[in-house]
Structures are given as structure tokens and as C-alpha cells.
Structure 1
Amino acid sequence: MHTENAGGEVSPETKRRVTALALGAIGVVFGDIGTSPLYTMKETLGTHGMTPTPAAVLGVLSLVFWSLVIVVSLKYVTFVMRADNKGEGGIMALMALAQRSMSGSARARWTLAAFGIFGASLFYGDGVITPAISVLGAVEGLQIAAPGLGQYVVWIALVILLCMFAVQRYGTHKVGKAFAPVMTVWFLVLALLGARQILANPEVLYALNPWHGVRFFIRHGDTSFIALGGVVLALTGAEALYADMGHFGKKPIRVAWFGFVLPALVLNYFGQGALLLSDPLAIESPFYRMVPEALLYPMIVLATAAAVIASQAVISGAFSMTREAMSLGYSPRMAVVHTSREMSGQIFVPWVNRMLMVLVIVAVLFFQSSDNLGAAYGIAVTGTMTMTTLLALVVARKRWHWNWPTLVLVGVLFLIIDLSFFGANLLKVAHGGWFPLVLGVVIFTMMTTWRRGRELVVREIKQSGLALAPFIENIAEHPPLRVPGTAVFLTANQNAVPHALLHNLKHNKVLHERNVLLTVEILETPVAEASERVQITAMGSDFHGLELRFGFAEDPNVPLALSLCGREGLGFDMMDTTFFLSRENVVADARRPGMALWRDKLFVILSRNALPATAFFQIPGNRLIELGAQVEI
């Protein structure tokens, strides 16, 4: 919390804390966008039939500079980061915030959910391409330092990537301490390399004039639009600024961006432009051509370290997004391993790690170079950017109450840029852009199928359940044998008799002294407030309804939450408590309305491979009884 003195000045302690967080953000948040200079200018001016003429160099530089200013500085850092969901950022948190703003309209909420899910699905495509292109782009410096080693670039990159995925299980807590110093040195080196070239060729600064970008479009026609697909590589990682807001806060990220990262990036891009003005042949690798020959090998090592850090940030983001998707009901439950006792956000999702590793290896082997991967890159990034803009505009209208003229002006500016970048990258579909697009569509299909399938299962359970109130009245009139202890029945419907309770009464002919119907609800906020965590309802005959609420960024630890119920008058002795759960055996039935048969079958496969609810809710296995129930959808 910020503390101020009587004059309104921020206290020294707060300044130190912001500075420390800003340094941490440099190491974690800006890794992806910080490694973009490795390949952006080369991909934009070195392919698509472009020639690095002075006019083309100044035009591309102008587009890169103003894209960083408008998309990153204005859109993300200034506008989108205002849309925090109780301090949390990222497209899933933004989707939940936008949905809460559209209360009452089911169709509008589903449309917003579709935007968020599609943006999140494309983010996984980014999580595959970023490690591959960043590490390949760094290792390709060997082709400049020692051309004979060029044939080993792919294999060296694969070894580095395999090692990176192998150590994920140990967490980034210890390694993360080295991130900030390494990335600080990286950005300082970027700035120094660029400044050296700018001093030698200062006319490159003319590119600050946006007219050079306009003239680039006028002179190059269709080719300029294709080149725009390369310019977007300078913006990769912009989404991370918003996604990691919950870890560092708005102010530290803004301080780091405007005070350090942006100036370093601009100096390096303009330095590459200055080099190309004097030596157009340097387009084969303008970044490494700026490096003095004696420092090439140390620079390759530093660039590789920065690329690994950039990849680490994206992979960690995929873990966090998966946990949020599970909590919000858009992904099957998976095992989540905590890698730090101090930071709840540092997690490891084994299944996602394996999936990303396999797909990254496939991408490296298939595309072979950062140039080829550059053709595949962009669609995922620009698609997520567009979805983020649409969701943020909804929040601006519904929660911030912006007037229509302001909303339209801001929306048109950002959407024209986002859709231009997206359209330019659609031209890459045949040259590799299909890879992240297909991956995104597959994940989108799986997420929407899981969400719809769970809705159908819950609907079937509710329709087939007995009304609870008459059941309790009948128990009071004709009491069965009651045995000591507490029985907790997990149920999605507090007004119906859980199947597990009916099966237990029917087959065992007994009922516990105290019976608790437990419903776990995941909220559309990151963390549940203490006042809404627990809700207890007395139902008579020692039956109690219990609702536990968790935020989507929390781990739903049911035993721990039950220990808090004592202060609400419903204490639990875990050694005297038995949990009952109905495990649904889902069967696809073409005669039932709901989803297409192939989606029903896909949901059945996902359901059978999902982590059991008991493990997800951290219920101890030695206190658990599971009873099967068949559900047709």
C-alpha cells in the first residue's frame, strides 16, 4: 500500500518498493518483447521481396516506433491495464470482468466468453512459437560468428529448449532471482549497441516522423501490407504486460516500461536502421552485425539467456492461464504443482508442460529457422490483441461509463491497428501461419466443448434429482438408522438430493448423524472476499447446506475451508468426517439435444482423462467414498 507524507509525496519506503518491483518486472514481464530485436528488422526487410533502401528502412522504423507508442504504451500500459480484476490481469481475468459488467444478458455474456476463450486459445499458440523463434533467433548468431556451425543451429536450439522444459518442475523461484540482472544487462547492451550506430549515422532519427511510415505504404503498395506482418513482431509480449499485472502492479510495470525498456528498444531498432542505411547487406542479420566481432560469442550467450527468460515468461503464463480456465469451467481439471511456498502464482502444470514441449520441438524441426517461424508468428499475437481490445471496450462502457464519442474514438483507433496487423498476418497462413491458427481452433473447440458438456451434465443431474425439502420431511417422519459422524456430500444443486446420499441410504440402510450438502462455487473474481467465502443454511433434521466460494486465481482447498466453518457454527472434525461423491460416467447419446455427437464423444474423452474433483478440491483419499452414476448427454 502506498504511503504519503503530509505534503502528498510518496514515502521513501514506497519508492524503494516500486523500484524493486520494477526491476523484477524487467526480468519477468519484458522478456518476450525484449528479444524481438533479434529478428524483427530481419524478418520485415529481409523477406517478402523487400529491398532495404533508405526510404524502406526509415518507413519500417517509423512503423515500429509508432506501433510501440500506440499499441504498447497507449493501449496496453495506459488503457487496458486500467481494467484490473481486483488487481489481476490477463485475457481470462478481463473476460470475467467484462461478463460481470453484462449482468442479465445471457447471449451477451456468451459472446464475451467466446472472445475471451478464442484470445486465450491463441495465447497457447504464442506459447509454442515464442520459445522456438526466440531461442533459434539467438543461436543463429553462430552463423555470423562461425559460419561452419550453421548446420548445428537447430540441434543446439533443441537441446536448450529440452533443458528448459525439463527444469520447469523445479519452478522459477530460484532461477527467477537471476532474471532481473540478466535482462537489465540485456536492455543496457541493446541501448549501447543502438546508440553507437545512431551516433555514426544520426539521419536515421528522421524515422521519428510518422510521415515516413505513411510514405512507406504509398510507395510499396501491397508489399507494405505484407511487411506489416513483420512489424508486429516488435509487439510480441505486449500481452504479458497486462497478464503479469497481478504479480507486480500497474505502477512498477509502467515505470519499467517508460523509464527503461522502451528507450532501450527504440535505441536498438534505430541502431539497426542506422546500420542498414550505411550497409544494406547487413540485412542478413542486422542485430548481430551491430556487435563488435570480439564480443560476438558473449553476445550470443547473453541473447540465448534472454531468449530462455522470454520463453520462461510465456510458459509460466500458459500455466497460470490454464489454472484460471480450469477454475472458470473452460478446461478439464489437471494436476497443479506449487513450486514456491511464498508465491501462490508460481505453479507447474505437468500436462501443459509436456504439450508445449512436444509442439515446440515439432515447430523447430518443421520450420528450421527464425525466418520461417516469423512467417508463422503474428496471427496468434494479433488475434489475442484484438480480443483484448474488444473486451476492454466493454469494460470501459459498462464499468467506467465512458460516453459513446470517447468510446468510438478510442475503439476505432485501436481496432483499425489491431485488425490491420491481423489482416497482414492472415496473408501468412499458407506459409506457416496455419500452425498457430489450427492450434488455437483446436484448443477453442476443446474449451467450449468442455464448458457446454459440463452444463449438460449438471442439467441432467438436476432434472433426475429428487426434491430435497420433501425428502428431509420424510426422514423426520420415518427416521432410518443414524450412525455417528458427519457425512459431506458434494453436489451441484442444493435443492436436490445428491445421488451419493440416495445410494448410501438405499444400499447401506443408514444415515449419518449430521449430513452436509457441499457446493463449491468459483467466482469471476481472482480472490473471494472473507465475507463471501462460506454460506451455511440449516435445513432441519441435522441437514445443512454449505456453499464454499473461491476466486479463479485460488486453489480450492476444501478441507482448509471447512476448518473455517467452526466460527460460523458448523465445526468439522476431519477424523470423524466422511466425504461422498458421485462420479459421473458420461455416455454420449445422439438422441439427446445439446451438442453434435462428435462433440459429445470429445467431451466423454476429456471427462475420462480429467483430474478427479476430489483431487482438485484436495479432499483426502482416506476420508472419501465414491459412488458411480451414469449420465447421458
Structure 2
Amino acid sequence: MSTPAPSAAHGPNKAGLPLIIAAIGVVFGDIGTSPLYTLKEAFSGHYGLSSDHDTVLGVLSLAFWSLMLVVTLKYVTVIMRADNDGEGGIMALMTLAQRSLRNGSRSAYVVGILGIFGASLFFGDGVITPAISVLGAVEGLEVAAPGLKPFVLPITIAVLLGVFAAQRFGTEKVGRVFGPITTVWFLSLAAIGLWNIIAEPEVLKAFNPWWAVKFFAEHQWQGIFILGAVVLAVTGGEALYADMGHFGAPPIRHAWYFFVLPCLLLNYLGQGALVLAHPEAVANPFYQSVPGWALYPMIILATMAAVIASQSVITGAFSVSRQAMQLGYIPRMRIKHTSSDTIGQIYVPGINWGLATLVIGLVLVFRSSSNLAVAYGISVSATMLIDTLLFALVARALWPAWRRWILPLCVPFFLIDLAFVIANGAKLAQGAWFPVVLGVVLFTLMRTWRRGRELLAEEMARDGLPVATFIPALMISPPVRVPGTAIFLTTDLNTTPQAMLHNLKHNKVLHERNVFLTVQVLQVPYAAANARVSVTTLGDGFHALTLRFGFMETPDVPMALEQFCLAGHIHFDAMDTTYFASRETIVASAKKGMPLWRDKLFAFMHRNAAPASGFFRIPGNRLVELGAQVEI
């Protein structure tokens, strides 16, 4: 199987100024707040580095070439050519990789494991972003007025609570000002950096990779551990790829090449210039580099930028959680649409307050951006490594004309990612265990839910009756028929839905029109209009209907049925239609299926999943749920 040569996303193919500014506001929040803590962490007590001339230039050179190789070359230039109908991110890359493999094969299974594990790890580090960004910004108060240090934690928690509490109102109106504010933030970074570089132009030598080589030569094998701090400069690189579906590749590329990257480099070099002139400034080189008259305005601007970075992570979590629901990796949750015009504007209360609990808990436990920086990096480094492996597989299998230059590039990408993973792995005992443990827990939950659903479907199919024999047998002595349409939700159109059997058993009636409905989620972001619906007439008033949605869409069954009706097919009267669904009670068994503890975990998750009426947007007063016990 082959696909077209790698290209830009199929989303917007132009990079107009308004779109570029919008992308700056949404996409670059995480990587844009990294200057708050990256250099500060590199010279903290965790690594034992002295702020002498050669060491400062060596660390700056490592940060510069990491930004150029990992973000600029790997993600922005190369990996963003791999899009799944315009969508990016590790789950889209996983789907592309699986297209080249036989469905159900061991290779496809391994690729699926890698993709889900990478997504879990990325989320594990993602919860640190709001905590470290806001805390790092508010810590500027310690520089402006040391007496305000006791207020840093309360202010940070208050800001974070406000961010999470505001999610239920939607981000559409707030999002309009994100771009201009973030643009001002980057311009300020560049101006402050340039002001310090002019005072100490010696720092420009950091562009020479020799200083990075010299750093490793002097520190030998121990030098690799400094990459645990350098990686902070590139966190957010994967997010650029993941957010590609919102804007398309060109606006993100233009914003990075011509604006964000130069501003970041100027600021890092400016901080380095300050440390060269005043080695004691390593305590907080970002705020020490700010002129005294601009310190308080910069603290306010940094806090606003940190809030925007947090907002990007939170809304990204909503989007990823919806994709995971659609692909069957997590239970259904209540989704609230906060915009009548934009389908992507959603609010998932369970995800929102789960994130809030984790983020505020991190602030209370770690208490400083320096301590959080130790925990930061391990999971995102592992995600970047998995991205490289999946991308190499996609290039090898799907792009025969391009793999001759892409595959050789994947070798240095892999080695760099591996070095970052090793460097961050050394911090496990100091706090890096948290995102790893969180990622493993999330991975276990997702795999348990996926496997449990498969076992449940197998049990339901084993106990079910084939539709081909059920309908003729039923018509030999049909029950009383009542007016209206009954829609029975099912996962297998070849097997009679359990809800139909229970309805006949308990109510002893048959509706005038009976539709067996299954909802499929495709491995593409949006379903094509001509593939949305398919119907088979089974006779005697029975129909088999399939509705298809992309994994970026919210399945609205009533609306899809109304559109299907308007297209001249089966007539549906919303007020004369009743939906039937089975609600199984899971009974864990040690004799079959998964280990008993995973069976019980799946039963708990299944019991707390949102009902179909909410997930499929079915009116609650038109839905009848019929229960049954199923042992797995």
C-alpha cells in the first residue's frame, strides 16, 4: 500500500498574517514559556555546573542546536509532512503507520502499543506544563521583592484555579486575544535578549557547535546528563505537530522560522550574555536580565503567557480525550460544546477537573519551578523517541520515493532522542518518576478499556442470535406491532441486539419500523459525506443502518439521521422514534479474559462511563436502556 509523497497538511494551505498570529497564540505557548526556567535549571544545584565562560557557551550551544535539530529540522520541517487528512500528533502518526500493516497482525499490535504508550507519556508530562509555567512566571515576584516569596504559591494556585474554572465558559472569546498577547510576549523576549547581547556580544560564539563538543569533552560521559535541562528548551516540539490540524502546516512553519525561533534564540543568548557578565545571575537569569523598570510589567506578561500555555495544554487534553473516546481507548465522558459555530470548542468536565487536581497537587508537592523542572522531560523525551520510530516506519512503507533521504535523517533523530531519554532517566529518583508513573497508569487504563470492550463484544456475540435467522423465525408468529420507529443500538449488525431481545421478552411488542444501528469511528479525522451512511433493508420492516464519523468529530446520531432522512431515504420522525440500548453489568471472572484485577478495573470503568444518550447526543426522554449481566 502507498500514499502520496509527504506534503503539508491538507488543512489550510495558506499562511496569511491573521492565521499566523492565531497559530502563535495557540501553538507556541508551551515552548514559548521555556525561557522562564531552562537556563536557570541548567545551572541549578542538580547538575553541579559552574557559570564560567566555557560552560555557559557550551550549554547555550547545546540549547541552540537542540532547537535547530529537534524542533526546526525534525518536527517543523520533516515530521509535519506526515499528516492524517490534515491532523497531526502521535495518534495520527500511529494511524498512518498502521495503514501499511495487515490489520490484526503482530506488527500492527506493536505499533498500536507504541502509539498509545507515547500518548500516555506525553500526557504525563503535559500536566506539568501549567504548573511549571505559571509557577515560573509568578516566581518573578521573588526577584522584584524578596519579601513576597510567601505569596508565590497562593498566587500560583489562585491563577490555576481561575484557568480551570473558566473552561466551562469556552475559550472562543478569550482565544481572540491569545495571538496578540503571545506576539507581544515573544517580542519582549527578543528585545530583552538583544539588549543583553549588545552589552556582551561574546555570547554569539554559542552558535558554533564546537562549544557543545568542547562541553562534552571536558565533562566526559557525565556531560550527557545536562541534556536533562537542555530538553526543557524543546518541550512543546511535539505539540507543534499535534496542533497542525487547527491551522495547517504553512502558518506554523512561517511563525516558527521567521518569528518564534529568532525570538527564543535572542532571549536564550541574552540570558547567557548576562551570566557571562554577572555569574551570580544564574539564580534566575530570565528575570535578572529584565531592566528594573520593566520587571513588574514583565511578571504580569509572563503570567499571561503562562496562562495561555496552560490553556493550550488543557484544550489539547480535551481534543485528545475526544479522539481517544472515538477510537475506543477510554470510556465515554460527558462532552459540552461551548460554541455553536466551531465543533472543536468543547469542554470535558471529567478531564478538566482531573487535570486541575493533578496540576495543583504538583504545585503543592514540588513548590518551585526548579523542583518541577527535575520531573519535567522524561516522558516527552520518550514520546519524541516513539515519534521518530513511527515516522521511520511511515516513510519506509508509504513513501518509497522519499525514504532515501528521510530514513537516514531518522538515525541522528533517534540518537538525539535516546540521549535525552537517558539524561532524563537519571532524574527518576528526584521526581521524574511522577510523569512516568502517571503515563503507565494512563496506558494501563486505556489498554484495559480497549481489551475489555473486545471481550465484552465477544461474549455478546457468543450469546447472540444471527439476524439472518432471527427475523424469519420472528415473523412465523409475530408479536403485536405498534406505530413508530424503534432504533436499537448495536456494535454488530449481524447479531440481533440484546436490547431487541429484552424488549420482545418484557414488552412483547414490535414496532412498525425497526432499525439496527451501529456507529463506526473511522481512522480519519472527518468522514466523507458520501461515506457517512449506509443502509440495508432486511425485510418485514427491519433495516440495518451504519453511521460513520471521523475521530475528530462528535457523533450526533439524531442530526445524522435527520440528514439521512432529508436525503430521501427512510423517514424518521424524531417525535415518533424511540432509541433502545443495552446497559451491561460486568461480572469479573478469574477463569477467562484478563487477569481478575483488570476485569474488575474494566467493570468499574464501564459502570462509570457516560450513557449513550449523552455521548451520541440522543435525547434522554427518547432513550430506553435495558440491562443484562455479562461475565468476562
Give the TM-score, by structure 2 length: 0.96
Report if aligned partners of 2:334, 2:615 keep a CA contact under 8 Å in 1. yes
Contact residue 50 and residue 223 of structure 1 kept, 8 A: no
Per the TM alignment, residue 402 of structure 1 is displaced from its structure 2 partner at its CA by: 5.1
1:403 Cα deviation from its structure 2 partner: 6.5
Q: Deviations over 1:509-541 (max 9, x none)?
A: 221121111011011110000111101011121
Match of 1:161 in 2: 160
The corresponding residue for 2:367 is 368
The correspondence of residues 272-283 of structure 1 with structure 2, limited to 5 A, is 272-283=271-282
> Which residue of structure 1 aligns with residue 323 of structure 2?
324
Which moves more between the two structures, 501-510 or 616-625? 501-510
Q: 2:325–2:331: 8 Å Cα contact kept in structure 1?
A: yes
Q: Which residue of 1 aligns with 2:65?
A: 66
1:546 aligns with 545
- Aligned partner letter, 2:75: Y
Structure 2 distance, partners of 1:14, 1:427, is 43
Task: Give a deviation string over 1:302-360, Cα, whole Å, max 9, x none.
Answer: 11111111111111111110000000000111111111222211211111111111111
Distance (Å, rounded) in 2 between the aligned partners of 1:37 and 1:224: 21
Structure 1 segment 203-242 matched on structure 2, within 5 A: 203-242=202-241
Matched, 1:247 2:246: yes
Match for 2:20: what amino acid?
A
Equivalent position of 2:25 in the other structure: 27
Paired with 1:300 and 1:569, the residues of 2 have a C-alpha distance of: 61
Give the superposition deviation at 1:414: 0.8
List aligned pairs for 1:230-379, cutoff 5 A.
Answer: 230-379=229-378
**What CA distance in whole angstroms lies between the structure 1 residues aligned with 2:482 and 2:361?**
58
Q: Deviations over 1:133-163 (max 9, x none)?
A: 1111111111111111112211211111111
- Range moving further from structure 2, 275-284 or 215-224: 215-224
Counterpart of 1:411 in 2: which secondary structure?
helix
Contact conserved, 1:190 with 1:267, CA < 8 A, in 2?
A: yes
Residue identity matched to 1:350? P
Question: What secondary structure is seen at the aligned counterpart in 2 of 1:546?
Answer: strand
What residue number does 1:486 align with? 485
The offset of 1:14, in angstroms, is 8.6
Distance across 1 between alignment mates of 2:333 and 2:288? 46
Q: Is structure 2 residue 629 aligned with structure 1 residue 630?
A: yes
Post-superposition CA distance 1:192-237 (Å, at most 9, x none): 1111111121121111111111111110124321211000000111
Q: CA deviation at 1:442?
A: 0.6
Conserved? CA contact 2:590–2:596, under 8 Å: yes
Question: What is the alpha-carbon root mean square deviation over aligned residues?
Answer: 1.5
Per-residue CA deviations over 1:21-71 (Å, capped at 9, x if unaligned) read 100011111111011001101101233111011111111111111111111
Report the alpha carbon displacement of residue 404 of structure 1 after superposing the two structures with TM. 6.0
For 2:351, give the aligned amino acid. Answer: V
Q: Contact 1:97–1:525 at 8 Å: present in 2 too?
A: no
Alpha-carbon distance in 2 for matches of 1:506, 1:169: 43
Q: Which amino acid aligns with 1:45?
A: F
Structure 1 SS opposite 2:342? coil
Q: State the SS of the aligned residue for 1:425.
A: helix
Match of 2:7 in 1: none
After TM superposition, give the deviation of residue 389 of structure 1 in Å.
1.7
Q: Quick check: 280-289 or 122-131, which moved more?
A: 122-131
> What is the alpha-carbon distance in structure 2 between the residues aligned to residue 14 and residue 65 of structure 1?
29
CA distance in 1, matches of 2:167, 2:301: 21
**1:450: which partner in 2?**
449
CA distances 1:465-488 after superposition (whole Å, capped 9, x unpaired): 011111112233333322211111
In structure 2, the residue matched to 1:192 is: 191
Q: SS of the residue aligned with 1:488?
A: strand
Q: Which runs of 5 or more structure 1 residues have no equivalent in the other structure? A: 1-12
Question: In 1, are the aligned partners of 2:57 and 2:203 still within 8 Å (CA)?
Answer: yes
In the alignment, the residues of structure 1 paired with residue 401 and residue 563 of structure 2 have an alpha-carbon distance, to the nearest angstrom, of 41
Residue of structure 1 in register with 2:132 after alignment: 133
Q: Give yes or no for contact 1:18–1:251 (8 Å, CA) kept in 2.
A: no
Aligned to 2:8: none
Correspondences of 1:364-513 after superposition (within 5 Å): 364-401=363-400, 405-513=404-512
Residues 395 and 407, structure 2, Cα contact 8 Å, conserved in 1: no
Amino acid at match of 2:36: L
1:10 aligns with none
Between the aligned residues of both structures, percent identity stands at: 60
Worse-matched range after superposition: 32-41 or 508-517: 508-517
| CA positional deviation for 1:386 | 1.4
Cα deviation digits, residues 80-101 of structure 1 (max 9, x gap): 1111111111222222222223
Moved more, 96-105 or 522-531: 96-105
Q: Give the Cα separation in 2 of the matches to 1:395 and 1:308.
A: 36
SS of equivalent to 2:127: helix
Query: Does residue 585 of the first structure (1) align with residue 585 of the second (2)?
Result: yes
User: Which residue does the alignment assign to 2:572?
Assistant: 572
CA 1:307–1:556 in 2, change beyond 3 Å: closer, same or farther? same
SS at match of 1:50: coil
Contact 1:45 1:227 in 2 (8 A): no
2:90 aligned residue: 91
Q: Answer whether contact 2:132 2:373 (CA < 8 A) is retained.
A: yes
Counterpart contact for 2:13–2:248, Cα < 8 Å = no
Amino acid in the other structure paired with 2:38 = T
Q: Write the distance in 2 (CA, Å) between the matches of 1:240 and 1:95.
A: 15
Cα offsets for 1:154-180 (capped at 9, x unmatched): 121111111111111111111111111
Aligned residue pairs total 619
The AA in structure 1 aligned to 2:602 is: F
For the 8 Å contact 2:13–2:250, the answer to whether it is kept is no
- Alignment partners' CA distance in 1, 2:438 and 2:200: 44
Alpha-carbon distance in 2 for matches of 1:222, 1:356: 37
Separation in 2, partners of 1:582, 1:97: 34
Q: 1:402 to 1:603 in 2, by over 3 A?
A: farther
- Could you say what secondary structure the match of 2:506 adopts? helix
Q: What is the CA–CA distance in structure 1 between the aligned matches of 2:103 and 2:585, rounded to whole Å? A: 33
- Segments of structure 2 that go 5 or more residues without pairing to the other structure are 1-11
- CA distance, structure 2, for counterparts of residue 328 and residue 210 of structure 1: 44
Contact 2:485 2:513 in 1 (8 A): yes
SS of aligned partner of 1:60: helix
Write the distance in 1 (CA, Å) between the matches of 2:458 and 2:612: 18
Counterpart CA distance in 1 for 2:382 and 2:34 is 18
- Point out the more displaced range, 388-397 or 515-524: 388-397
Alpha-carbon distance in 1 for matches of 2:528, 2:403: 33
**8 Å contact 1:139–1:153 — kept in the other structure?**
yes
